[in-house]
Amino acid sequence: MMHSSEEPASENRTAHYVNSQAKRVAISAALSSTAGSIWALGIDRDGTGISNHMIIQNGTDSSISLHEYYLHWGQAKVVPEGILPCLNEDDALFHAAGGWASTGSNGIVTYQLDEDTFLHILWDCPYNFNHYCNFIGLYLCDKSKRKPSGDLFTRMEQYVKDPDMRPERRSPFDLVCCGPGDRSFSSNGEKAWGVRRPCEVMNGKYYAAMTMGDSHKTSSTVTILTTKSLPQFVMCKAK
């Protein structure tokens, strides 16, 4: 009896995995076929190729929506899918650098997680050939700070010092450099460069983590979860 009851569950898990993989392949193929075109909500063409492919994974128990985005510099395209269903994933952003290369782009994309909670996702793709220029940042905030802007970008990137915006892992705001470097706070450096670690933020309701490679042609993944679904070891480390 135990064997027969466990087998369907295993089959369901396998089917879910296969379906998820098939959907991801289908989405990637569809987006690749449109490379070089202009999206309805896009900024400009992606030039000769995709430099940074971003995937947003919604692991919460409800849909989230694309609220707004701010392009600080360069070219990028945002797929015009406004709603991201729960327990799903969507190829959300192209960061276009006119090839693999030396122009790059940076800015903020903002998702609304619920009526009162917004998540700012900062990206900074290489604009030169120093790999340590790859930055990612996450900021969980309330509706009073929901608008992405140049001012928010400079404060998140630490170009303007703000005591309320000091990056800290598993706090509401975190900033990470994805490439090699030795100038983090832990080594008396000037920036919160968490070299080779995920960017992680957390508040009382949500947890989000982001990773990005350190090369010019790279990919990014943002995963959004509710804190109630987190493993206990993550919860106990939250500030």
The residue-averaged pLDDT of 34-42 equals 28
Looking at domain 36-235, which of 1.10.10.60, 3.30.1330.10, 3.40.630.30, 2.60.270.20 is its CATH number? 2.60.270.20
Q: Per-residue pLDDT tens for 152-199?
A: 999 998 878 788 888 888 999 998 877 655 554 444 555 544 456 788
How crowded is residue 147: how many other Cβ atoms within 10 Å of its Cβ?
16
Contact partners, residue 16, CB within 8 Å, separation at least 6: none
pLDDT of residue 71: 85
Backbone angles phi, psi at 110, to 5 degrees: -120, 125
CB–CB of 141/118 below 8 Å? yes
Domain ranges of the chain: 1-33, 36-235
Q: Per-residue pLDDT tens for 78-128?
A: 655 678 887 765 555 544 433 333 356 788 999 999 999 999 999 887 655
Q: Kindly list the distances between the CA atom of residue 107 and the CA atoms of 62, 119, 132, 235, in Å, as whole numbers in the listed order.
A: 26, 14, 17, 30
181 φψ region: left (φ > 0), alpha (ψ -120 to 50), beta (else): left
CB–CB of 167/158 below 8 Å? yes
pLDDT score of 67 more than 80: yes
Portion of the chain with pLDDT greater than 70, in percent: 50
Structure tokens at 89: 């994933």
Residue of 75, 78, 74, 166 lying closest to 121 (CA atoms): 78
Structure tokens at 121: 């996702």
Beta pairing partners, 176: 136
The residue-averaged pLDDT of 194-217 equals 79
